[in-house]
DNA sequence: GTCCAGGATCGGA
DNA sequence: TCCGATCATGGA
């Protein structure tokens, strides 16, 4: 990997593991990236960046080169050997091979734990367009303004001070008390998100589901999308259908330590090709 | 108008 | 331990 700085752009060349931004940013692991004219606009690390591909190179605008090296390379998971992992998974399931072809080069992002946790609490029994809307309103109303219409995700300290009435504006319904209760537990230190990062996965699972409104599915999402525990396997209604109909013996153990990556390909592939589940 | 959404919780069998 | 009703809201 090599970094070139020109004006406000940083060009990342010689990336060993090709990343497809559309598949990575629209496969259901994140909710805040927006595509405008073939470029993606998003916020993390209190930076509002634009990212796009030029051939195999990745271009990041509005960041400084040190942040790109330290934060964004990790965020987009550019150092993990996805070729090796896909090969490891390649003889497990024929639909997975179709998914590789149909939606290639998905990377599992390294997202910030609080944003991921809160976002997936909002996601429960909800549809993706509305999830995005609720999260957007949450940021507009309680985040920091970074530029024109771009707001940071509000941190848990701010949210722990909010009341139910304050959140009525975001229309998160029955999930509101879960959000507030979780923000409270993290603020008081009852749950430490930094500690969970270093825990063994089963220990981390146990800790996360102690949060009110966090069950096995949301827990797996946080483990995979922000703690990068690649064996985590979020089992939502779609993946239940996939496991039920498309996986031999309905056994996800075949995916081993990279189950989460198999899950991400299958999830996105099946949501774009729902007819496969009708077979 | 009806059905359903990247679920979790609770009460009752 | 298991199962179904329920939760708030609006997208499709």
DSSP for A190-251, written as a single string: SS-HHHHHTS-HHHHHHHHTTSTT--HHHHHHHHHHTS--TT-----HHHHHHHHHHSGGG-
Residue A126's nearest nucleotide, by CA–C1', is: B5
Footprint of strand C on the protein (CB under 7 A): A 125-127, 129-130, 133, 168, 171, 173-174
The set of long-range contacts for A202-211, using a CB threshold of 8 Å and a minimum separation of 24, is A204/A229, A208/A117, A211/A117, A211/A178, A211/A181, A211/A182, A211/A185
Class assignment of domain A113-214?
mainly alpha
CA–CA gap between residue A77 and residue A83 (Å, rounded): 13
% pLDDT > 90, chain A: 98
Q: C7 C1' – A128 CA distance, angstroms?
A: 18
Residue A150 β-bridge partners: A147
Distance between alpha carbon A54 and the CA centroid of its chain, in Å? 23
For residue A200, what are its two tokens?
């063994």
Footprint of strand B on the protein (CB under 7 A): A 27-29, 120, 123-128, 130-131, 174, 209, 211-219, 221, 234-239, 263-264, 267
CA–CA gap between residue A43 and residue A230 (Å, rounded): 24
Torsion of CA A223, A224, A225, A226, to 10 degrees: 40
Neighbours of A275 (CB within 10 A): 7
* Nearest CA-CA partner of A177 in A208, A211, A218: A211
For residue A209, what are its two tokens?
């589901």
Q: B10 C1' – A61 CA distance, angstroms?
A: 49
pLDDT tens-place string over residues A195-250: 999 999 999 999 999 999 999 999 999 999 999 999 999 999 999 999 999 999 99
* Nearest CA-CA partner of A75 in A228, A204, A230: A228
Helix boundaries (H) for chain A = 21-25, 65-67, 73-75, 82-89, 94-102, 113-122, 128-142, 156-160, 176-187, 193-197, 201-208, 216-225, 237-246, 259-272
Residue A133's nearest nucleotide, by CA–C1', is: C10
SS3 A19: coil
- Which CATH number does A2-79 carry? 3.30.310.260
pTM above 0.95, yes or no: yes
- Can you give the pLDDT at residue A246? 97
Q: Could you tell me the residue ranges of all domains in chain A?
A: 2-79, 80-107+228-279, 113-214
Residue A123's nearest nucleotide, by CA–C1', is: B6
Q: Is the dihedral of CA A51, A222, A93, A247 positive or negative?
A: negative
Q: Are A31 and A132 in contact (CB under 8 A)?
A: yes
- Can you give the pLDDT at residue A106? 98
- The low-confidence residues of chain A, meaning pLDDT below 70, are none
- Can you give the pLDDT at residue A264? 98
For residue A267, what are its two tokens?
């999830």
Residue A127's nearest nucleotide, by CA–C1', is: B5
Q: Which nucleotides of C are covered by protein (CB under 7 A)?
A: 7-12
CA–CA gap between residue A90 and residue A132 (Å, rounded): 33
pLDDT tens-place string over residues A141-166: 999 999 888 999 999 999 999 999 99
Residue A271's nearest nucleotide, by CA–C1', is: B6
Q: C3 C1' – A262 CA distance, angstroms?
A: 30
- Can you give the pLDDT at residue A279? 76
Domain A113-214 in the same topology as domain A2-79: no
């Amino acid at each position: 990997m090599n970094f070139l700085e020109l004006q406000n752009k940083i060009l990342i060349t010689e990336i060993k593991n090709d990343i497809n931004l559309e598949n990575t940013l629209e496969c259901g692991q994140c909710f805040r990236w927006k595509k405008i004219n073939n470029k993606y606009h998003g916020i993390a690390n209190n930076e509002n960046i634009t990212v796009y591909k030029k051939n195999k190179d990745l271009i990041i605008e509005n960041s400084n080169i040190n942040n790109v090296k330290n934060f964004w390379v990790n965020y987009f998971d550019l150092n993990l050997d996805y070729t090796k992992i896909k090969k490891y998974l390649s003889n497990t399931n024929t639909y997975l091979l179709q998914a590789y072809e149909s939606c290639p080069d998905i990377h599992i992002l390294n997202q910030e734990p609080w944003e991921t946790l809160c976002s997936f609490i909002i996601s429960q029994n909800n549809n993706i367009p509305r999830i995005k809307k609720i999260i957007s309103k949450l940021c507009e109303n309680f985040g920091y303004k970074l530029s024109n219409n771009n707001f940071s995700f509000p941190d848990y300290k701010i949210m722990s001070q909010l009341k139910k009435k304050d959140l009525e504006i975001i229309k998160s319904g029955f999930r509101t008390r879960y959000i507030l209760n979780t923000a409270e537990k993290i603020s008081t230190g009852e749950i430490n998100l930094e500690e969970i990062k270093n825990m063994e996965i089963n220990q981390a699972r146990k800790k996360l589901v102690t949060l009110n409104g966090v069950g096995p599915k949301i827990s797996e999402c946080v483990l995979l999308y922000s703690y990068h525990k690649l064996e985590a396997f979020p089992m939502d209604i779609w993946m239940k259908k996939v496991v039920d109909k498309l996986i031999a013996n309905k056994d996800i153990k075949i995916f081993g330590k990279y189950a989460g990556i198999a899950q991400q390909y299958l999830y996105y592939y099946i949501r774009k090709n729902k007819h496969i589940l009708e077979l």
